[in-house]
Structure 1
């Protein structure tokens, strides 16, 4: 079986086991299985034990690769550029496209929310509360992009600082003549070894996905989804429309490439994104997809993919758009056209301004609500179903990262269309188990 098939089986089994355990626990703290002289607690042993440990080890292993992969890959890509000045063109196009797709995403979300009115008829919880974390200003983010200690930036996983240092290091190598060429050979070898490590890790992905899904669906509160069903499905509908319609139209209009081919090749990375709920943790897989399946040159992908994982917030923007309308309707607050335009502008700029902040989605939402005078306590109403929606948002963000990467690569003449149109490109990624045996 292909790796994608095995991941889907692991996901399906994890969801089934999670629902089974939830039915057995039935709201109880735990359930004891009698085994002769002692009893085995289901929740403590399986959910908080095996499932939690297995899932967290898998996520940690993915995150372990992010900094070395991004740094080495970006250095290789930068030093291989014939003209380092192209970085300005790459950066301008990438950031511009990411902001445009974010603005489109939140506009679509607000339109659907106004059309279906998910907040009408919702009973307010009496204990609704939410502590607002202060988001950094855009000026602070720009200053913090430049590391005072690059090793500290790598240790803390500060991706914007790692990206800046890797770009500067790669440019210095390109301008250093023979010395730079000798170091470049070492980095190319390092890149090969790290990509092999990615391949090894992907082989155990189905088990990691099983553990993550089993724990999530044992603990998720289904009654919250039922009570917020309208909000939930409006967000999901907006996410799917943005991924399948907006991205497809932009890809076709800007490159002429076949969107169906693109979406088919994205399924593997999207499954990873869905199961991990982290664009950063999925970055090794996203980079592999962009270069090996979509035919993007590493000099472009190594720049646009890490940048997108840091600042591309299309999925989060959609949640913000629907949530803003939802909370306004719940609290019976009428927003004007200028308010909605302010929401679009604030959320689009915040997608850059809050990059790298933990819990970025809810922090950005708090900023947007404050901007239009809505009570931040409304976040407490939707926070219960946000974990499940976050999984879908991540898959959409990853798709957006690769779409922008293809557009930028095509405009720079750095996309191999023979690889893009080849349905068997990087078949080894789908059949890793065969190469391992």
Structure 2
């Protein structure tokens, strides 16, 4: 069978395997006729990532406006919004609790001997312990200020999706409350833009295997696999937490609340998960996620256009789990015992800051600095995780996207849609 005849997710998976091999063989120094292979990989990967990012603002804005205006009255919007927010809050809390349990059970930061000597810290653990009392999470208020941007065009240009989604929600809501002559013209315009953006998404995704190969090969050439050694226990703690959430918690929700087969859903979302993994950007994956849900899983555009853009901004299960594990790992590395109250603050902050994290690579590092400052831990601790952050970023982004997709399926089923992942309706499409 020709490669182009394979389904898109298989093409991406093959590219992923080849990329790891190529990255290990090429490294940063290899060249061909004077040209750096690493630079070529960087160019191709960035080109693909730029193409996905190019779609984000017009796709999210058009899908949000069309989705909200198509929902119906205020009561329908309120019902769908309540279900969406409720799902996102529940799964994020479950993810944080999984991380909290594992990091306390495994204790990856606990070492024999002086932590300062082992990790090379400059801060004094005794002094830090005294500073931990009385800290709060006031710094996260800024996250909520970004919900209402003073300039929506600037918010779009700077990738501030929370403000853009809020504007789109208002626009779609009031689109249904103007005179029909104006409403019809506006609706047709935004619906047309949405259809065009999905067509462009189809085109971009034809080149996904090449983009994935370049992005992953570049990452492996950068970090290699040796970086995992010194932080193996921390790395495994995070991976185990993400795996439990992805393969146990979310499938249970799909089965018992959504009433659908988790295995069918994994198959339907294959291309989106692999794209999320390779790009480490949940925002850049939005077009692919929506396409997989509508074409493969049979979820209506009404649900996906509301749930997925919102989820890419506020539903960060993998990120919240990671933030919780990182902060407690750093505290353990300093030899500091955090009280239940301090750990509760970390849980709340992980929930709140994950809402405002931009859906781009390494954005969670910013949220981690907020949590560290709030509980009184020095920012130098972040240096501990940088060696493995990129690989874990790719993994947690895939978890974020999978949780969004599960939310869309569950909410569609709770809204009474009968064709979601059911029997003959489930027909994954090829990407080529």
What's the TM-score once normalised by structure 2's chain length? 0.87
Per-residue deviation, 1:261: 1.9
Q: Is the 8 A contact 2:161 2:358 kept in 1?
A: no
Aligned mates of 1:205, 1:358 — CA distance in 2 = 18
Change beyond 3 A, Cα 1:31–1:397: closer
1:250 to 245, 253, 275: 253
Q: Is the 8 A contact 2:67 2:302 kept in 1?
A: yes
Equivalent position SS for 1:121: coil
Task: Give yes or no for the alignment of 1:10 onto 2:23.
Answer: no
| Paired position in structure 2 for 1:79 | 69
| Paired position in structure 1 for 2:431 | 432
Per-residue deviation, 1:422: 4.1
1:28-427 alignment, distance < 5 Å: 30-31=29-30, 40=34, 45-47=36-38, 49-121=39-111, 124-126=118-120, 137-176=139-178, 177-354=180-357, 359-413=362-416, 415=417, 417-422=418-423, 425=426, 427=428
| Cα deviation digits, residues 400-437 of structure 1 (max 9, x gap) | 11112222222333x3x324224664543xx232xxxx
Per-residue deviation, 1:143: 3.4
Equivalent position SS for 2:338: coil
Change beyond 3 A, Cα 1:32–1:347: closer
Per-residue deviation, 1:183: 3.0
Aligned mates of 2:378, 2:198 — CA distance in 1 = 47
| Paired position in structure 1 for 2:130 | none
Structure 2, gaps ≥5 residues long: 1-5, 124-136
User: Which moves more between the two structures, 5-14 or 139-148?
Assistant: 139-148
| Paired position in structure 1 for 2:3 | none
Change beyond 3 A, Cα 1:379–1:409: same
Change beyond 3 A, Cα 1:422–1:54: farther
CA RMSD in angstroms, aligned pairs only = 2.4
Equivalent position SS for 1:85: helix
Q: Is the 8 A contact 1:128 1:381 kept in 2?
A: no
Equivalent position SS for 2:243: helix
Aligned mates of 2:138, 2:158 — CA distance in 1 = 17
Aligned mates of 1:337, 1:362 — CA distance in 2 = 24
Change beyond 3 A, Cα 1:171–1:336: closer
Aligned mates of 1:140, 1:332 — CA distance in 2 = 31
Q: Is the 8 A contact 1:314 1:397 kept in 2?
A: yes
Aligned mates of 1:170, 1:370 — CA distance in 2 = 38
Q: Is the 8 A contact 2:107 2:329 kept in 1?
A: yes
Q: Is the 8 A contact 1:112 1:238 kept in 2?
A: yes
Equivalent position SS for 1:374: coil
Per-residue deviation, 1:318: 1.6
